[in-house]
Amino acid sequence: MVHPRVLRALTTPLIGHMDPAFLGVMNDIQALLRAVFQTTNRFTIAVSGTGSAGMEASIVNLVEPGDAVIVGINGVFGTRWATTVERCGGTAIRVEAPWGEPIDPEAIEQALRRSGPVKALAIVQAETSTGAWQPLEPIASLCRTHDMLFLVDAVTSLGGAPVEIDRWGIDVCYSGTQKCLSCPPGLAPFTLSDRALAAIKARRSPCQSWYFDMALIADYWAEGSRAYHHTAPISMLYALREALRLVDEEGLPARFARHQLNHDAMIAGLSELGLFPLPSKSHRLPMLICVTVPPHIPEAEIRTSLLSTYGIEIGGGLGPLKGKVWRIGLMGESSTEAHVLTLLNALEELFIRHGWCSTPGVALQAAARVYSRTAS
């Protein structure tokens, strides 16, 4: 869902992308993004493109032929990152974990002992395909000990859970606008540490992508002196500024608490229907719930009924989880008590109709108990 203020911002009359007034919009976005990334990084921008553009930009700028990068793989997006490293001529050292589980720092240590010099480590904080939440602090410590750049995918987590760039020592981080920031898709919030910028400037060969070359883009986003690089998506940047203002008005602690509360209520209700989370309790994303679907339930048929009858869309499984899980987003503007109760009510009705639930209201009551405990 997108807040009406963001939709109105999309209709703001267009001006030139080098107009001084628009450059002021860009300054506002940089300041607001620094706040949500919890960083003082000078280079904090919105890349013109979706979250996948952020992923590609993170690699094409830092990886040259022959560079080794450790990539944590426990779902779809870690796999995609490894492929991007290899397309740049780098060596992707895959450190894997079962889908739904976090990457073990000890497994990374073992990979480092077996390998030669490693330039960077890339890991997904919020794996959208499994609902798994990756702890970052132990891995950040490893990166500093072994002098590796630390790259983090925060596409699903930014704005819904802590992403502490400076405190955790993250060198490169990107996200997407359409998840917890509740802006239409089309931009990738992106931040680089001074350490990462120095590595980009020290490249032995030019960046293989002109469009994502951050050495060039930096001159367009540099405050005070702007150099033309590409035509910015002006309407999307208007929308992002308004979405970030909404985040700022709510405050990050309150926003994180809201996502966690709605997550807890949804889990309580789903569990009463026999739908249990894939990740362990300590590694569950608050904004993306992934639950296993019992074999007797035709998961695709139920998802179709939810959409056609109730107007509710939830995701199916990807890769090896296809047909085995449901992925339910509670992100940003969509993370509300009303949405939790609406979905649980719809699932109850469908489950009762098929004979999979015999106690009407059981899921709703479980969720209500979570909300009432918080209210008291």
Report pLDDT for 231: 84
**176 and 59 share a domain?**
yes
Report pLDDT for 221: 78
Number of domains in the chain: 2
Print the domain residue range for 354.
253-375
Tens of pLDDT, residues 283-329: 999 999 999 999 999 999 999 999 999 999 999 999 999 999 999 99
Percentage of the chain modeled with pLDDT above 70: 99
Tens of pLDDT, residues 38-80: 999 999 999 999 999 999 999 999 999 999 999 999 999 999 9
Q: How confident is the model at residue 123 (pLDDT cuts 50, 70, 90)?
A: very high
Please provide the average confidence, as pLDDT, over all residues in the chain: 95
3-state SS string over the chain? CCCHHHHHHHCCCCCCCCCHHHHHHHHHHHHHHHHHHCCCCCEEEEEECCHHHHHHHHHHCCCCCCCEEEEEECCHHHHHHHHHHHHCCCEEEEEECCCCCCCCHHHHHHHHHHCCCCCEEEEECEECCCCEECCCHHHHHHHHHCCCEEEEECCCCECCECCCHHHHCCCEEECCCCCCCCCCCCEEEEEECHHHHHHHHCCCCCCCCCCCCHHHHHHHHCCCCCCCCCCCCHHHHHHHHHHHHHHHHHCHHHHHHHHHHHHHHHHHHHHHCCCCECCCHHHECCCEEEEECCCCCCHHHHHHHHHHHHCCCCEECCHHHCCCEEEEECCHHHCCHHHHHHHHHHHHHHHHHHCCCCCCCHHHHHHHHHHHHHHC
Please say if the pLDDT value at position 347 is more than 90: yes
**19 and 141 share a domain?**
yes
**CATH code, 66:** 3.40.640.10
**CATH code, 361:** 3.90.1150.10
**140 and 239 share a domain?**
yes
The domain boundary, picked from 235, 250, 265, lies at 250
Percentage of the chain modeled with pLDDT above 90: 90
**13 and 146 share a domain?**
yes
**241 and 257 share a domain?**
no
Please say if the pLDDT value at position 148 is more than 80: yes
The domain boundary, picked from 250, 285, 305, lies at 250
Please say if the pLDDT value at position 224 is more than 70: no
**143 and 216 share a domain?**
yes
The domain boundary, picked from 220, 250, 280, lies at 250
Tens of pLDDT, residues 246-292: 999 999 999 999 999 999 999 999 999 999 999 999 999 999 999 99
